[in-house]
């Protein structure tokens, strides 16, 4: 739980926005990290994770005005620094242009560019090009309608889409 110290990042983001974070919690879902997890195995874990039940608990807490503050302890800070270094040194540099492979199933529909939150993809006559701003969210890989984007290190070619979130929702969230 807490991989990437998401709660700490949420706290920092709210503080930067001049807000106070009174409640934060985690919802355990499919981990879409393709080099680390086989997606079908991950999807098979969903019933046991009882996402609806987790959401109900969070809604109950919020309705009950439960306080669940986030503490950024020295241990959390150390983990944040470790993940940041790992992203900078290992994932961002290697995963981006040279590790995303687009096969000939690509129709140049442009969906990958639209779902990318980092404006890291350009789709032109020449094909799909990745820049160096990747945030390693894997939205492009999981949402390509042709399953045309791959990584050398992916555990399988299976992709995951959350049926509760439409493509339009993802694209609109970037605008
Ligand atoms: S979403 Fe897939 S098919 Fe569409 S342009 Fe990107 S790689 Fe090609
Ligand atoms: S992984 Fe995410 S941030 Fe990186 S190029 Fe794909 S959509 Fe953009």
Neighbouring C-beta atoms of residue 8, cutoff 10 Å: 19
Which ligand is closest to the CA of 121, given by its number? Answer: 2
Residue of the nearest CA to atom 8 in ligand 1?
Answer: 106
Query: Considering only CA atoms, which residue is closest to atom 4 of ligand 1?
Result: 109
Query: For helices 74-86 and 6-16, what crossing angle results, to 10°?
Result: 100
Q: How far apart are CA 27 and CA 29, in angstroms?
A: 6
Nearest residue CA, atom 2 of ligand 1? 144
**Per-residue pLDDT for 95 more than 70?**
no
Using the predicted structure, report yes or no on whether residue 34 has a pLDDT greater than 90: yes
Band of residue 41 on the pLDDT scale cut at 50, 70, 90: very high
Q: What is the pLDDT of residues 102-136, one digit of tens each?
A: 999 999 999 999 999 999 999 999 999 998 888 88
Question: What pLDDT score does 94 carry?
Answer: 56
pLDDT at 144: 98
The CA 139 to ligand 2 mean position distance, Å, reads: 6
Question: Ligand 2 atom 7: the closest Cα is on which residue?
Answer: 116
The reported pLDDT for the residue numbered 1 is 45
Best of 136, 148, 161, 167 to mutate for ligand 2, by most ligand atoms within 8 A of CB?
136
Model confidence at 93: pLDDT above 80: no
Higher pLDDT, 1 or 74: 74
If you average pLDDT over residues 70-98, what whole number do you get?
80
Count the neighbouring beta carbons within 10 Å of the beta carbon of residue 116.
23
Q: Which residues of 14-51 are buried (b: 16+ CB within 10 A; e: fewer)?
A: eeeeeeebeebeeeeebebbbeebebeebeeeeeeeee
Q: 75 is written with which tokens?
A: 């241990």
């Amino acid at each position: 739980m807490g991989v990437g110290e998401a709660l700490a990042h949420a706290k920092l983001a709210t503080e930067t926005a001049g807000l106070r974070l009174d409640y934060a919690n985690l919802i355990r879902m499919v981990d879409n990290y393709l080099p680390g997890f086989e997606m079908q195995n991950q999807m098979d874990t969903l019933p046991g994770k009882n996402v609806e039940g987790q959401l109900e608990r969070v809604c109950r807490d919020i309705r009950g005005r439960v306080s669940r503050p986030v503490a950024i302890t020295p241990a959390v800070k150390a983990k944040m620094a470790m993940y940041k270094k790992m992203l900078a040194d290992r994932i961002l540099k290697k995963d981006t242009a040279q590790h995303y492979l687009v096969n000939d199933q690509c129709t140049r529909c442009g969906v990958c560019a639209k779902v990318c939150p980092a404006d890291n993809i350009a789709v032109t006559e020449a094909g799909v090009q990745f820049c160096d701003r990747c945030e390693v969210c894997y939205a492009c890989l999981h949402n390509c309608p042709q399953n045309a984007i791959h990584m050398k290190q992916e555990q399988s070619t299976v992709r995951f889409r959350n049926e509760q979130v439409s493509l339009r929702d993802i694209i609109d969230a970037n605008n």
